Each structure stands twice: as structure tokens, then as C-alpha cells.
Amino acid sequence: MSPAESILITVITASTPLVIASVGELVTERSGVLNLGVEGMMVMGAVSAFAVTQMTGSPVIGMFAGIAVGVLMSLLFGFLTLTLVANQVATGLALTILGLGLSGMIGESFVGVQGIKLPEIAIPGLSSIPFLGEVLFKQDIIFYISVALIIGLQWFLFRTKGGLVLRSIGDNHASAHALGLNVIGIRYLAVMFGGACSGLAGAYLSLVYTPQWVENMTAGRGWIALALVVFASWRPLRLLAGGYLFGAVSIGQLHAQAFGIAIPSQFLSALPYLATVIVLIVISQNRRLTLINTPASLGKSFVPDR
């Protein structure tokens, strides 16, 4: 494998969890719900996937366990914010704190245990293509799922009636309710989808990225995923580009350290998060673009008429 192939594969590995988690949050926010608990759902997905894999010996079962736990965490968020009409920002932050604490407790006995990596799937014929075959067509199943999610979401949002319904609820939940749409039910489904994606992204971290359990192994990726949704202006294809841009920044700082570039390691480690802040500042300057794409009902609670 050439150095270029190796670098591209590491970029893909670093970017995939960001893309998957941000896809889930994009759908959630398109429905008008702001869930800041992505980090908590991701870390719970990571520890659950690792623990179940260790108990069953199957990383595939572990992957589904991570998804299931992400959905359960999202249902807790949904119950508090959609049914009990709790503040979405405060509840999302509480969910992250809960996930970080609970994952540390659950994963205590798994620290230092050798993990089982999710196997790669080589696509016959395509995987033998020089350069691209090794990079794109000899990956694990979660990478292929991430690509399918982007393509499927682009089609769903802008080519189907369901996508139109989701976007209309996010833009004006009162009007959508007046038209007979089940605002709360659809928002529950969107929140659950976001939880499933966050759990899958977390599972990727403990089954592919670094097949082991380390406390707080998400390391702020949930917050980067939230920023990516804004960076992409709530559009899936831009989300894919942004995810790989941030993944490249993350990997770039590691290669800079390996090449012995005379920059403090602390600064290089902070680069992904510094890039996140810079991107948000730049986006905020274009107020018109932000307002055009932001779901108008984002973060606003909805109480149906009784």
C-alpha cells in the first residue's frame, strides 16, 4: 500500500463517524428539534458496541447493540422534550453528561481489553482497481452505510413526499399541524433516527477506528458533528464534504507530529476544534444564507391543540 493510499484510508476512518453522527442530527434538526446530546449518545453507542462484542464475540451484533442504545437514549430525550415539553437545549446537555458518566461506569471493566475489529468487505472486481480499489471498495460495512445514508437522505429530503413533510414540520410546525400532520409522531421518528446514527457512529469508534474501549473516547466528536450540520447549511451533500474536511484536519495533525514539524503538539491536537470554531465564525457572517436554510421552528417546543 502506497503512502497516499494509507493517508486516504486514515482520513476516511476519521471522517466516517463524523458523517454518520451529523446525518442523524441533520434529520433531527430538519424536523425542528435541536438535540445537543449527540456526544452522549455516541459514547454510549461506543461502550455498548464494545461490551456486547466482547460478550458475544460478534462485532456485527455489537454494532446493532450500539444502534439500539443510541435509539434508547434518543427516546429519553424525546420523552422529555416532545412529551413533557422540557427545554431542548438543557435536556440535550443533560443527555451528554448522562452518557459520559454512564459509559464510564459501564466500561470500567473493559478498559485495556483487546477489542474485536469489524471485518472489511472487499467488493468483488472493484476492490482490485489500482489505488481506488483499496481505498474505497475494501472497507468495513459502516463506511458503506455512511455513503448510503448521504445518498438516501439527499433523495429522501428533496425527492419524496416524506422529505417534504419533514421539512414542512421543521419550518412551521403550527401550519403542519393545521394540515393534519402528526408533528409529535414525526419528530419522534426523526429523533430516533438521529439516536440510531449517533449510536452507530459511536460503535464505529470502538469497533473500527480504535478497537478498544477508552473512557470518553468520542473526544468531542459529537460537538463537531453538531457544528457540521450548520457548516453544511442542513444539506446532505455539503455534509459529506464537511465531514471529510474535518476528518482530514484531524488526520493532518497526526501526520504533522509524525513528520516532526516544529509546532507544539497541544496546538496540533486542538486543530480540529479550532477549525470548528473558525468555520462557525465564517458562517455566522453570512446571515442571509444561514436564515434561508435554518429550519424556522428549530428548537421550538410544540404543544398540539387539545
In a domain, 301, yes or no: no
pLDDT at 255: 63
How many structural domains are present in the chain?
A: 1
Percent of the chain residues past pLDDT 70, beyond the cut: 90
Task: List the one residue out of 255, 206, 234, 237 whose CA is nearest residue 62.
Answer: 206
pLDDT at 135: 86
User: Residue holding cell 429523533?
Assistant: 191
In a domain, 233, yes or no: yes
- Rounded Cα distance between 162 and 262, Å, is 52
In a domain, 305, yes or no: no
How far is the CA of 61 from the CAs of 64, 109, 212, in angstroms? 5, 20, 16
| 234, HSE (Cβ side, Cα atoms, 13 Å) | 24
Say whether pLDDT at 268 is over 70: no
Question: pLDDT (tens digit, 9 = 90+) per residue, 14-34?
Answer: 999 999 999 999 999 999 999
The residue count of the chain comes to: 306
Q: What is the mean pLDDT of residues 137-160?
A: 95
In a domain, 16, yes or no: yes
In a domain, 302, yes or no: no
In a domain, 306, yes or no: no
Backbone angles phi, psi at 28, to 5 degrees: -60, -45
Q: What is the mean pLDDT of residues 224-244?
A: 90
Amino acid code (one letter) for 103: S
* Average pLDDT score, the chain: 89
Provide the domain limits for residue 282: 3-293
Please report, for the domain that includes residue 73, its CATH number: 1.10.3470
Say whether pLDDT at 145 is over 70: yes
Task: List the one residue out of 26, 19, 22, 21 whose CA is nearest residue 200.
Answer: 21
Containing H/E element for 121?
Answer: strand 120-122
Residue 291: band (very low, low, confident or very high) from pLDDT cuts 50, 70, 90: low
Question: pLDDT (tens digit, 9 = 90+) per residue, 30-58?
Answer: 999 999 999 999 999 999 999 999 999 99
pLDDT at 304: 82
In a domain, 197, yes or no: yes
pLDDT at 25: 97
In a domain, 298, yes or no: no
Question: pLDDT (tens digit, 9 = 90+) per residue, 83-137?
Answer: 999 999 999 999 999 999 999 999 999 998 999 999 999 888 888 888 788 888 8
